[in-house]
């Protein structure tokens, strides 16, 4: 292939050679796939910005022009989603922070300190990554509703707290659930990072007699800042996008504590059919936080995915 | 693990006369105990949630718990499993589940590999393009489902416009039970093939480029070089990407739920997860749902266990 032909001093002949059929084909395919991945997003945004009439009349991927352009759908969808946005953030931010901290500690104790039986404990974490959530839904519903109704217990406290509404107590069991089930994957992400650190990093401190806690606080914590960013972005996206736990623990998609993912499927649906202008607006708004995060931290996001696969 | 063994054996001397106090002191000073504040709390939390949850689910599946009141633990039996296995709806869901699992994983892997190879050869703005290919991964199933409902819309969705422009009859993508599952799989491939691409790109980068040069000198064509030399070396990438993709496939419930916003997914796309949630949350048949969930877990374990054993043998655990 033409890996080495990008030298600056190429003569015209080799330049012509470089623009060969294969390269043209290669770029054509790249562009075609750009279309494949972007068209669903593009048509969604275009539809979100059109009036109902324009949606019915124009091509789905054509931009809205003149009278067909409107922001009403976006405004309406936003008014429908505002409360659930707050709920999603109130859920995802604390859950992610707790998750990242606990996972970093667990990975440290399982990687940088050595003890017998470590592999067995680690395997239990590893299996936890892959367990389908369906397998724990019935116990989860029963636990938080019947055996330990934490939300109901906390309700008066939340009703008294400024800025918090009583119904937000529903989010507490949800946060705990997200933290518990997020621990395995976050631990594995941190672990692969800690494993890649050179042994010499902590050896010297160990010889100097630094305690396990001190090594973590003074050496490991400062050095794992980039990994904290990776795991935070990965896990925030996961929790923000999650649906099943909210569905199980917050009954009814119109519950005032429902996060965005729970509200979204119902928006724009009516007995007379689906209003796609509103629906696409809502979908786009719901996705916006993760899209912004993704575009701003694409490398960290990809890094999280690469690490996930071992 | 070797160092772990030595510290432990050091802390328990082999002399016969060691009092239990000394043993206790050694134990309390061991790295196991000292590091336990770090991994202990996460371990307990995760253990209760994952393994406690699974255990309790199995127990419930052996009762006749139907939502109200308490499960009767006195008559533990496998009735719910027998009901499921003899039920047509269950068998249909199980078959759809397997089709989804295999087809989705295969197509995503193939497309991901193709994209990775496409981008691995001197493409400009490779990082930006890669970011766009991977973008659907940042979306939730719920959002993806809304986008594809519009793509598949029979009146004037994008695919309908393309099909009619080409002069064909509009296709009922999600309404026709014969192609609905394929439509679902196609949308899922759109969302997740970028993941396979990222894993393969990392794998390709670990292969030294002089192998290309060597093959070129030998006069091998590019296709041949890939088939004979490069792709066989991507085995590990394939295995780990496949496992993660299968786990995504088992989670496809949310996508199917969000497609129609009800308990019933489009005709012909019912999978074990949707069946399970419908039985539990719509009909209140909790024990039956728990039995289906247990079987779903077994399906997942049959994928994961060989993978973990393979990883362990490779020494990469």
pLDDT in tens, A192-218: 999 989 888 888 888 888 888 999 999
Residue B8: per-residue pLDDT: 46
Alpha helices per DSSP H over A19-133? 21-48, 52-57, 72-111, 118-130
Find which of A182-186, A268-272, B312-316 is predicted with most confidence, using mean pLDDT.
A182-186
B 227-266 residues inside an 8 A Cβ radius of A: 237, 240-241, 243-244, 247, 250-251, 253-254, 257-258, 261
Q: Look-up: residue for tokens 């009954």?
A: A251
Question: Sign of dihedral through CA atoms B27, B28, B30, B34?
Answer: positive
Of A38, A113, A261, the CB nearest to B35: A113
Residue A19: per-residue pLDDT: 62
Enumerate the residues of chain A whose CB falls inside 8 A of the CB of residue B272: 134
Question: Sign of dihedral through CA atoms B43, B49, B53, B54?
Answer: negative
Residue A14: per-residue pLDDT: 55
A 163-222 residues inside an 8 A Cβ radius of B: 177, 179-181, 183-184, 187, 211-213, 216
How far is B300 from chain A, CA to nearest CA, in Å?
7
> Do A87 and A259 contact (CB within 8 A), yes or no?
yes
Q: Which of A105-119, A175-189, B250-264 has the lowest mean pLDDT?
A: B250-264
pTM of the model: 0.90
Q: Which pairs from B119-124 meet CB under 8 Å and 24+ separation?
A: B119/A30, B119/B197, B119/B201, B120/B201, B120/B204, B120/B205, B121/A1, B121/A2, B121/A3, B121/A26, B122/A1, B122/A2, B122/A3, B122/A6, B123/A26, B123/A27, B123/A30
Return the residue in A40, A61, A80, A175 with the most chain B beta carbons within 10 A, the one to mutate for interface testing. A40
Reported as a pLDDT band with limits 50, 70 and 90, residue A5 is very low
Two tokens, residue B62: 């052996």
Distance CA A258, CA A112 (A): 40
Of A30, A181, A276, the CB nearest to B49: A181
Residue A13: per-residue pLDDT: 56
Nearest CA in chain B to A199: B3
B 117-176 residues inside an 8 A Cβ radius of A: 118-119, 121-123, 127, 129-151, 153, 155-158, 161
The residue among B198, B172, B174 whose CA lies nearest residue B186 is B174
Distance CA B20, CA B86 (A): 58
Residue B17: per-residue pLDDT: 67
How many inter-chain contacts (A to B, CB under 8 Å) are there?
Answer: 318
Residue B86: per-residue pLDDT: 93
Residue A121: per-residue pLDDT: 93
Residue A7: per-residue pLDDT: 47
Of B39, B115, B127, the CB nearest to A33: B115
Residue A308: per-residue pLDDT: 83
Enumerate the residues of chain A whose CB falls inside 8 A of the CB of residue B127: 298
A 31-50 residues inside an 8 A Cβ radius of B: 33-34, 36-41, 43-44, 47
Task: State whether residue A282 sits within 8 Å of chain B by CB.
Answer: yes
pLDDT at A307 > cutoff 80: yes
Distance CA A103, CA A118 (A): 15
Helix then strand count (H, E) for chain B reads 16, 0
Q: Which of A69-83, A273-287, B62-76 has the lowest mean pLDDT?
A: B62-76
Reported as a pLDDT band with limits 50, 70 and 90, residue A15 is low
Q: How far apart are the first and last CA of chain A?
A: 30
Distance CA B10, CA B114 (A): 53
Distance CA B67, CA A194 (A): 45
How far is B139 from chain A, CA to nearest CA, in Å?
6
Distance CA A237, CA A253 (A): 21
Of A37, A136, A212, the CB nearest to B132: A37
Enumerate the residues of chain A whose CB falls inside 8 A of the CB of residue B37: 109, 213
Reported as a pLDDT band with limits 50, 70 and 90, residue A4 is very low
pLDDT at A101 > cutoff 70: yes
| Higher-scoring residue by pLDDT: A65, B317 | A65
pLDDT at A241 > cutoff 90: yes
Does B122 sit within 8 Å of A6, measured CB to CB? yes
> Do A233 and A297 contact (CB within 8 A), yes or no?
yes
Distance CA A88, CA A171 (A): 9
Nearest CA in chain A to B129: A34
Does A114 sit within 8 Å of B4, measured CB to CB? yes
Averaged pLDDT score across all residues of chain A: 89
Reading chain B (317 residues) residue by residue, the pLDDT tens digits are: 444 444 444 455 555 667 888 888 888 888 888 889 999 999 999 999 999 999 999 999 998 877 666 777 777 788 899 999 999 999 999 999 999 999 999 999 999 999 999 998 778 899 999 999 999 999 999 999 999 999 999 888 899 999 999 989 888 999 899 999 999 999 999 999 999 999 999 999 888 888 878 887 888 788 888 888 889 999 989 999 999 999 888 878 899 988 876 788 888 999 999 999 999 988 989 999 999 999 999 999 998 899 988 888 887 77
CB atoms within 10 A of CB B40: 15
Task: State whether residue A225 sits within 8 Å of chain B by CB.
Answer: no
How far is B178 from chain A, CA to nearest CA, in Å?
23
How far is B223 from chain A, CA to nearest CA, in Å?
11
Give the H or E element holding residue A273: strand A273-274
Two tokens, residue B128: 């930006």
Task: State whether residue B311 sits within 8 Å of chain A by CB.
Answer: yes
CA A291, A297, A299, A302: dihedral to nearest 10 degrees? -40
Read off the DSSP letter of residue B170: P
Does B34 sit within 8 Å of A113, measured CB to CB? yes
Residue B146: per-residue pLDDT: 94
Q: From residue A5, how far is each of A11, A67, B129 by CA, in Å? A: 11, 51, 21
Residue A253: per-residue pLDDT: 73
Question: Sign of dihedral through CA atoms B54, B56, B62, B63?
Answer: negative
Of B37, B156, B304, the CB nearest to A130: B304
Of B30, B123, B244, the CB nearest to A309: B244
Residue B6: per-residue pLDDT: 44
> Do B79 and B300 contact (CB within 8 A), yes or no?
no
> Do B286 and B60 contact (CB within 8 A), yes or no?
yes
Does A33 sit within 8 Å of B46, measured CB to CB? no
The residue among B54, B73, B77 whose CA lies nearest residue B65 is B73
Nearest CA in chain A to B51: A128
Distance CA B130, CA A219 (A): 34
């Amino acid at each position: 292939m033409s890996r080495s032909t990008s030298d600056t001093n190429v003569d015209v002949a080799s330049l012509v050679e470089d623009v060969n059929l294969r390269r043209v084909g290669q770029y054509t395919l790249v562009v075609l796939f750009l279309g494949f991945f972007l068209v669903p997003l593009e048509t969604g945004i275009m539809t979100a910005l059109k009036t109902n009439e324009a949606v019915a009349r124009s091509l789905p991927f054509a931009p809205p022009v003149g009278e067909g352009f409107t922001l009403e759908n976006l405004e309406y969808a936003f008014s429908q989603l505002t409360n659930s946005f707050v709920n999603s953030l109130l859920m995802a931010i604390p859950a992610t922070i707790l998750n990242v901290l606990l996972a970093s500690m667990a990975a440290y104790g399982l990687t940088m300190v050595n003890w017998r039986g470590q592999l067995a404990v680690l395997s239990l974490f590893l299996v936890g990554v892959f367990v389908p959530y369906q397998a724990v839904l019935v116990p989860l519903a029963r636990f938080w509703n019947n055996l330990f109704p934490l939300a109901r217990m906390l309700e008066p406290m939340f009703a008294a707290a400024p800025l918090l509404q009583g119904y937000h107590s529903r989010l507490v069991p949800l946060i705990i659930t997200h933290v518990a089930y997020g621990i395995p994957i976050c631990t594995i992400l941190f672990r692969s990072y800690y494993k890649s650190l050179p042994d010499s990093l902590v050896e010297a401190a160990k010889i100097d007699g630094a305690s396990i806690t001190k090594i973590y606080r003074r050496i490991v914590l400062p050095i794992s800042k980039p990994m904290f960013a990776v795991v935070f972005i990965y896990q925030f996206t996961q929790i923000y996008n999650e649906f099943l736990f909210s569905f199980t623990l917050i009954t009814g998609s119109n519950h005032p504590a429902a996060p965005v993912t729970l509200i979204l499927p119902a928006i724009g649906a009516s007995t007379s059919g689906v209003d796609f202008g509103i629906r696409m607006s809502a979908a786009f708004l719901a996705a916006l936080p993760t899209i912004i995060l993704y575009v701003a931290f694409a490398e960290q996001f990809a890094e999280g995915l690469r690490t996930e696969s071992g | 693990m070797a160092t772990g063994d030595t510290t432990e054996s050091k802390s328990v001397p082999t002399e016969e006369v060691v009092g239990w106090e000394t043993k206790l002191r050694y134990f309390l000073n061991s790295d196991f105990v000292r590091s336990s504040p770090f991994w202990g709390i996460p371990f307990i939390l995760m253990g209760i949630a994952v393994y406690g949850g699974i255990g309790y689910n199995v127990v419930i599946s052996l009762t006749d718990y139907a939502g109200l009141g308490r499960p009767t633990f006195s008559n533990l039996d496998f009735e719910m499993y027998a009901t499921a296995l003899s039920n047509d709806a269950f068998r249909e869901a199980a078959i759809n589940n397997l089709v989804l699992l295999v087809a989705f994983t295969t197509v995503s892997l193939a497309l991901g590999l193709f994209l990775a190879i496409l981008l691995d050869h001197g493409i400009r703005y490779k990082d930006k393009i890669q970011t766009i290919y991977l973008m659907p991964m940042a979306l939730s199933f719920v959002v993806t489902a809304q986008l594809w409902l519009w793509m598949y819309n029979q009146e004037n969705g994008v695919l309908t416009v393309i099909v009619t422009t080409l002069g064909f009859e509009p296709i009922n993508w999600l309404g026709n039970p014969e192609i609905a599952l394929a439509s679902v799989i196609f949308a899922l491939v759109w969302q997740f093939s970028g993941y396979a691409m990222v894993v393969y790109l990392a794998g390709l980068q670990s292969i030294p480029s002089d192998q290309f040069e060597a093959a070129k000198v030998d006069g091998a064509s590019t296709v041949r070089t890939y088939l004979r030399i490069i792709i066989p070396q991507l085995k590990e990438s394939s295995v780990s990407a496949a496992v993660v993709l299968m786990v995504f496939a088992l989670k496809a419930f949310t996508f199917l739920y969000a497609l129609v916003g009800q308990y019933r997914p489009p005709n012909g796309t019912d999978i074990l997860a949707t069946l399970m949630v419908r039985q539990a949350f719509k009909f209140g048949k909790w024990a039956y749902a728990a039995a289906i969930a247990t079987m779903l877990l077994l399906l997942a374990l049959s994928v994961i266990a060989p993978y973990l054993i393979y990883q362990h043998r490779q020494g990469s655990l």
